[in-house]
Amino acid sequence: QVKIEHQRAGGLLQQLDIPVWKWDEISMDFVTGLPQTQRRHDAIWVVVDRLTKSAHFLPIHKDYSVS
């Protein structure tokens, strides 16, 4: 057994607010380090709706810019 006594005791969990409408609150992430496709995409932009858990996977270039 490993007993770690030098860590602070964990606090209470904070409940997340449940969204009311679809796509009102989203989570985003990027998957990088992928091999390049024929259209030169080498990353995936993942957008997930927090209410329905539906996800969109968008192929992008690693150096993609919004501007």
Encode the chain (67 residues) as per-residue pLDDT tens digits: 666 677 677 788 888 888 899 999 999 999 999 999 999 999 999 999 999 999 999 999 988 676 6
Q: What is the strand order of the sheet 43-49 is part of?
A: 26-31, 43-49, 55-60
**Residue 31 burial (CB count, 10 A):** 11
pLDDT at 67: 64
* 32 alpha-carbon distance from chain centroid: 12
CA distance 43 to 29: 11
What is the value of pTM for the model shown? Answer: 0.68
